[in-house]
Amino acid sequence: MNFLAHIYLSFNDKDITIGNFIADSIRANKFDHLPVKVQKGIKLHRHIDTYTDSHAIPKISSKRLHANYSHYSRVIVDIYYDHFLAKNWSKYSDVPLDVFVDNFYDLLEENYEILPIGVKKMMPYMITDNWIFNYSKMDGIARVLNGMNRRTNNKSKMNFAILDLEEHYDAFEAEFTEFFEELITFSKQKFKSLTK
Report yes or no: 144 and 131 within 8 Å, Cβ to Cβ.
yes
Contacts of 161 (CB under 8 A, 6+ apart): 65, 68, 69, 76, 79, 145
Dihedral angle over CA of 93, 5, 85, 181, nearest 10: -80
- Check the CA dihedral 47-49-54-58 and report its sign: positive
Per-residue pLDDT at 48: 97
Q: How confident is the model over 106-145, as pLDDT tens digits?
A: 999 999 999 999 999 999 999 999 999 999 999 999 999 9
Task: Calculate what percentage of the chain has a pLDDT beyond 70.
Answer: 99
Inter-axis angle of helices 73-87 and 56-69, to 10 degrees? 120
Per-residue pLDDT at 30: 82
Inter-axis angle of helices 36-54 and 14-22, to 10 degrees? 50
Taking the C-alpha atoms of residue 122 and residue 10, their distance in angstroms, rounded to an integer, is: 21
Per-residue pLDDT at 2: 87
Enumerate the domain spans of the chain.
3-195
Q: Is the pLDDT of residue 78 over 70?
A: yes
166-169 long-range Cβ contacts below 8 angstroms, 24+ apart: 166/138, 168/64
Q: How confident is the model over 28-61, as pLDDT tens digits?
A: 888 889 999 999 999 999 999 999 999 999 999 9
**Whole-number average pLDDT of the chain:** 96
Q: Is the pLDDT of residue 173 over 80?
A: yes
Q: Is the pLDDT of residue 1 over 80?
A: no
- Where is average pLDDT lowest: 24-33, 92-101, 145-154, 157-166? 24-33
